[in-house]
A = this chain, B = another copy of it.
Amino acid sequence: MADTSWTSSAKSLKGVILDLCGVLYDSGEDGGTPIPGSVEAVKRLKASDLKLRFCTNETQASREKFVAKLQRMGFDISVCEVFSPAPAALAVLRDRGLRPHLLVYDGLLAEFESVDKSNPNCVVIGDAAENFSYQNLNDAFRVLIGLEKPVLFSLGKGRYYKETDGLKLDVGAYMKALEYACDVEAEVIGKPSPAFFNSVLRDMGLEPHQVLMMGDDLVNDVGGAQHCGMKGLQVRTGKYRPSDQEHPTVTADGTVDDLAQAVDLLLGERGGVSP
């Protein structure tokens, strides 16, 4: 049964931010598969009067390649609508004149091509899956422990995500490993960092209370958005687990079966036509 109390604020909304993995599609070895109804749901949101942006901690590939993959799945989405951590990290590295040692997916390296990586004075980790070998994590550790003041950036801090073959450890787990080993606190770039959400709101030209964030990650999507003053809706797809509903600190403004149901309820409440 759908919890519809959150729709009472639907009429005052001016924008929606969607998480991608676990909301639009489930990732997997094969590149991933769309979640049923989500291609159509994105189309309907785009046709509405709501502003739409996509906000992801996806770091498996450059933003260009990642968006191309979503387009091949049938999603109407373009690069400039997608906010992801790597371009944000690049800006921070440039601002602060830092030279990164990278521990990321091979596919993400292209985003950092233009940065000086010689004699590194910081470490950037993103989800790296199989690249999180002992050797690679140890190499990153040695760079950090060799710095007088270790600087660690983490592209997101998710605990785990869901691929078609099951749950997989996310970058947050490895961030914690390096934090502990080097007695340092990572700077998180990506959700749930307020700086990251605020950059999306700025681009939309909207105030937080005018925007609804939808995601499958209770802490990083829902809690992160709420912390910035947005409403946060959780979908029961992707990494959603029933125990999320008893989380000690984060309570979603609403929970829906999937994106399709959320869009039905949202547009229905705003006076749109149901499909």
A178 CB contacts on chain B under 8 angstroms: 173
Interface set, chain A 13-36, CB cutoff 8 A to B: none
Name the B residues within 8 Å of A183 (CB-CB): 159
Query: B180 touching A172 by the CB < 8 A rule?
Result: yes
B167 close to A176 (CB less than 8 A)? no
Which chain B residues lie closer than 8 Å to A159 at the CB level? 180-183
Task: Check if B129 sits within 8 Å of A134, measured CB to CB.
Answer: yes
Q: Please, how many angstroms separate the alpha-carbon atoms of A17 and B44 in the complex?
A: 71
Contacts of A8 in B (CB 8 A): none
Flag whether A69 is at the interface (Cβ < 8 A).
Answer: no
Q: Which of A50-58, A138-146, A198-206 contacts B (4 or more CB under 8 A)?
A: A138-146
For chain A, the count of residues having a C-beta within 8 Å of the partner chain is 31
Q: A131-B134, A142-B166 are in contact. List 4 more A-B contacts (CB 8 A).
A: A130-B134, A133-B134, A176-B176, A176-B177
* A118 contacts the other chain (CB 8 A): no
Closest Cβ of chain B to A23, distance in Å, is: 21
Q: Which of A175-231 contact B (CB under 8 A)?
A: 176-183
Interface string of A125-167 (1 = CB under 8 A from B): 0001111111101100110010000000000000110000011
- Copies of this chain in the oligomer: 2
Q: Which residue of B lies closest to A182 (CB)?
A: B159
- Alpha-carbon gap, A178 to B129, bound state (A): 15
Complex Cα–Cα for A100 and B141 (A)? 29
* A135 surroundings in chain B (CB, below 8 A): 130
Q: Give the residues in chain B near A138, CB-CB below 8 Å.
A: 168-169
Can you spell out 6 A-B residue pairs with CB atoms less than 8 angstroms apart? A132-B137, A134-B169, A141-B160, A145-B167, A172-B181, A176-B177
Give the interface centre of A135, A166, A180 by most chain B CB atoms within 10 Å: A180
Contacts of A75 in B (CB 8 A): none
Q: Kindly state the separation between the CA atoms of A135 and B168 in the bound complex, as whole angstroms.
A: 9
CB distance from A158 to the nearest CB of B (A): 9
Write out the residue numbers on chain B whose beta carbons fall within 8 Å of the beta carbon of A174: 177
Q: CA of A208 to CA of B183 in the docked complex: distance in angstroms?
A: 30
In the bound complex, what is the Cα–Cα distance between A128 and B145 (angstroms)? Answer: 20
Q: Are B134 and A160 in contact (CB under 8 A)?
A: no
Inter-chain contact B160/A145, CB cutoff 8 Å: yes
Closest residue of B by beta carbon distance from A135:
B130
In the assembled complex, the Cα of A39 lies from the Cα of B129 at a distance in Å of 44
